Structure 1
Amino acid sequence: MEIPGLVEITTYDELREVVPEPLAAAAGKTRKELHDLDRQWLAASPFCLIATSAADGSCDVSPKGDPAGFTKVFDGSTIAIPERAGNRRVDGFGNILSNPHVGLIYFLPGRGDTLRINGRARIVREAPFFDEMVVKGNRPQLALLVEIDEIFHHCSKAFLRSKLWNPETWDPEAVPSRPRISKALERQDADLAELEQYYGKAYEEKIYQVKY
């Protein structure tokens, strides 16, 4: 697509003409092992995003959530994330099979700062620690084992700009509901009333009952 007046950056030097070198505190904040503060964060976090890229460059970002502390910490450089049944697309896991590098961002509800972890992942189908990941009777069938390459905390500027945690900015009705989106884009032949029932209260009640 041609956009009139567009000026593209194509080299690292051009990028640095716009964005100066980071301050020493930012440039040197990456670590290779978990600090006790990182462990506290993981113990309190109920949600993370996992970014992956296949060998061909195709990308995916998948949300993962469970009760706070769902990420198991083995030692200073190894963690594991349980996988619950979802839509069966396994986009991220498929990427990992050809490129093990992953990027994780851990959130704390109400906090603007985040914890970021970059590392290499393996897909595990069975391990003794699965017994420690049972939630409401659901034992995961898969888990992601991540060897940490670097870890650091990220500031809250994006959250402050977006006012993400400010309830006064929330407008869940700004776009059509999930059932209506599904009807328009994914399940055109389905009855809207049935979709509304499917995504209703029973949907939440069954999220730990489903297996692959």
Structure 2
Amino acid sequence: MSKQHGEHILQEKYNTRKRAASFYDNQLLNYLNPLMQEFVSEQEMVFISTADAGGNCDSSFRAGPEGFVRIVDDKTLLYPEYKGNGVMASLGNILENPHIGLMFIDFFENSIGLHINGVASILDNEELTTMIMTDKIRDDIEKETKAERWVVIKVDEAYIHCSKHIPKLCKPENDSSREKDDKAQKSGDFFKVKQSKK
């Protein structure tokens, strides 16, 4: 048997090859078209997936102000890494295995999603000067004072996640709830792991 991607093997097994071919032809790009770029620039959150050299997976969540994920060009985007728990799980995976998946979901307006798969690299703030980008993007990035470093993604695939089963959510009118000084949540031990150690 010739070497095939797992998805192609299963398309044959479950007789979905024709549907899949239509998807590849009509929904899949290897760059971000203008509508995809606009969509990304409006998002306040993204789910990321990485894996280490052994294939052990990790999924994580990144959020920031609208447009915190910046579009450099139709093949390149980057997002800031803010101060976290210091574990560096996602960045550690990228160091071992640069493949990354990003999942943007608009829960509020259109109930639609965008998958972006690509190859990631880690840049410290001072290394951003080596990237070719417009003055507008460079000025915008320089205003990002909380970023400790950046993840740059070269796009391999971009495709839709259809609205089926994506719930429509409503933002609270007063979003100051994020600013509440809730010690239980901010302590990092919401699930009482410290007390559950055996």
- State if a TM-score over 0.5 links the two structures: yes
Aligned mates of 2:187, 2:150 — CA distance in 1: 32
Please say if residues 47 and 63 of structure 1, whose CA atoms lie closer than 8 Å, have aligned partners that are also in contact.
yes
Q: CA RMSD in A?
A: 3.0
> Which deviations, in whole Å up to 9, do the C-alpha atoms of 1:142-191 show, x marking residues without a partner?
110000011111201231xxx46389xxxxxxxxx8589926532339xx
**TM-aligned CA distance change 1:60 to 1:27, over 3 Å:** same
Which of 121, 143, 150 is residue 150 of structure 2 equivalent to?
143
2:30 to 29, 32, 35: 32
Q: Structure 1 residues 11 and 118, CA, compared in 2 at 3 Å: closer, same or farther?
A: closer
User: Once the 2 structures are TM-superposed, how far is the Cα of residue 118 of structure 1 from its aligned partner?
Assistant: 0.5
- Report the secondary structure of 1:158's partner residue: coil
- SS of the equivalent of 1:27 reads helix
| Superposed displacement of residue 73, structure 1 | 1.1
Amino acid at match of 1:113: I
1:84: which partner in 2?
82
Paired residues for 1:42-57 under 5 Å: 42-57=40-55
Q: State the one-letter code of the partner of 1:18.
A: Y
- Sequence identity, in percent? 25
Look up the match of 2:175: none
- CA distance, structure 1, for counterparts of residue 7 and residue 79 of structure 2: 36
User: Structure 2: which 5+ residue stretches go unaligned?
Assistant: 1-5, 130-137, 172-183
CA change 1:134–1:63 in 2 (3 A) is farther
Please name the residue that 1:132 is paired with: 141
Q: Under a length normalisation based on structure 2, what TM-score does the superposition of the two structures give?
A: 0.72
Report if the CA contact (8 A) 2:118-2:155 is conserved. Answer: yes
If asked which structure has higher relative contact order (CA below 8 Å, sep 6+), I would say 2
Q: Which moved more, 1:177-186 or 1:62-71?
A: 177-186
Alpha-carbon distance change, 19 to 85 in structure 1, aligned in 2, over 3 angstroms: farther
SS in 2 for 1:144: strand
Aligned equivalent of 1:209: none
Alpha carbons of 1:25 and 1:188: their partners in 2 closer, same or farther (altered >3 Å)? same
Shift of the 140–158 alpha-carbon distance from structure 1 to 2, 3 Å rule, reads same
Offset at residue 121 of structure 1 (A): 0.3
Partner of 2:160: 153
User: How far did residue 23 of structure 1 move?
Assistant: 4.9
Distance 1:181 1:139, change over 3 A: closer
How many residues are matched? 166
Query: Which runs of 5 or more structure 1 residues have no equivalent in the other structure?
Result: 1-9, 168-176, 190-212
Q: Distance in 2 between matches of 1:82 and 1:130?
A: 14
Aligned residues of 1:130 and 1:139 also touching (Cα < 8 A): no
**Does 2:59 align with 1:61?**
yes
Tell which structure's C-alpha radius of gyration is larger: 1
CA distance 1:116–1:86, shift in 2 (3 Å): same
> Displacement, 1:56?
0.8
